[in-house]
Amino acid sequence: MDTLKHKDLPFWESLPLTSKKHPDEQSVINVGGVQIGGPELVFIAGPCSIESIEQIRTVARAVKGHAHILRGGAFKPRTSPYSFQGLAEEGLAMLQAAAAEVGMPTVSEVVSPEDVDLVAAYVDMLQIGARNMQNYALLRKVGQCQKPILLKRGLAATIEEWLLSAEYIMSAGNPKVVLCERGIRTFETLTRNTLDISAVPIIKHLSHLPIIIDPSHAAGRWNLVEPLALAAVAAGADGLMIEVHPHPEDALSDGPQSLLPERYCRLVESARELRLLLEGRGLHA
């Protein structure tokens, strides 16, 4: 932590808003009453896409007590134009209703600048997806909104580029940014992406912004989600975002990486125990 002024970081000068001014600086971002970046590990859970009111309600009830924030996509950035694109405003209304019933704040993705005001009217936090990390018009637009932003790392973005995207949002007027590492493209084909676990300690070293991990999109397979999630906790992440579906085999998107609610709840218990163990040893406290 004493090397913060330094030759090993040639891009330091270009990060006036995201970089730490002193080693202990840590921003805490309030999302509908949930503090991300504070002492408590934060869990965000829900389906990849909102599919029906029954589906999102079932997930909300099942994860209540084991998640702080309910997620669900209504505007989906799908690789194929022929894949399910999301329920748009109708889906946002379902997310809002299901979350209100269990008393949880919400996060959902926005994919175009024209939809920012609409999505912001329904959710507590706006997500910028990996594919849009360098969509500068979208970054500027969410920078003018007052809701917190979950900024995912781009599929092939360096940590410097990712922080520069956060600078776009913050310099436009919105300081409430949470970073989310979700795996990057590598030559490996047995995972959907390669989780860059080193992003956690690097961001903790460089930036005051909170960082969470999305092991679901990194793994691409449900049985890899738990080990990656625990690795993220061990590395010092501020939280986890995990895809949960009551019937993964019928999911309209990302079924293979979705956890059943019971498995998700067990994982949260293990993650909390691990965090306590590490805090007991003076780590990440």
Q: Enumerate binding residues for ligand PEP (CB under 6 A).
A: 48, 73, 77, 129-131, 152, 182, 217
Q: How far is the CB of 269 from ligand PEP (least distance, A)?
A: 23
* 73 or 210: CB nearest Mn ion: 73
Question: Judged by CB under 5 A, which of 48, 67, 150, 259 binds Mn ion?
Answer: 48
Three-state secondary structure call for residue 9: coil
* 204 or 217: CB nearest ligand PEP: 217
Percentages helix, strand, coil for the chain (3-state, rounded to 5) are 40, 15, 40
Q: Which does 210 bind (CB under 5 to 8 A by kind): Mn ion, ligand PEP, none?
A: none
And the tokens for 89? 């405003």
Q: How far is the CB of 254 from Mn ion (least distance, A)?
A: 4
Q: How far is the CB of 254 from ligand PEP (least distance, A)?
A: 7
- Number of helices (H) and strands (E) in the chain: give both, helices first: 9, 10
List of residues 6+ apart from 90 with CB closer than 8 A:
74
Question: Judged by CB under 5 A, which of 254, 264, 268, 271 binds Mn ion?
Answer: 254
Per-residue burial over 43-80, b if 16 or more Cβ lie within 10 Å, else e, is: bbbbbbbbbeeebbbbbbebbbebbbbbbbbbbbbeee
Q: Which does 59 bind (CB under 5 to 8 A by kind): ligand PEP, Mn ion, none?
A: none
Contact 244, 265 (CB under 8 A): no
* 49 or 174: CB nearest ligand PEP: 49
Which positions touch Mn ion (CB under 5 A)?
48, 254
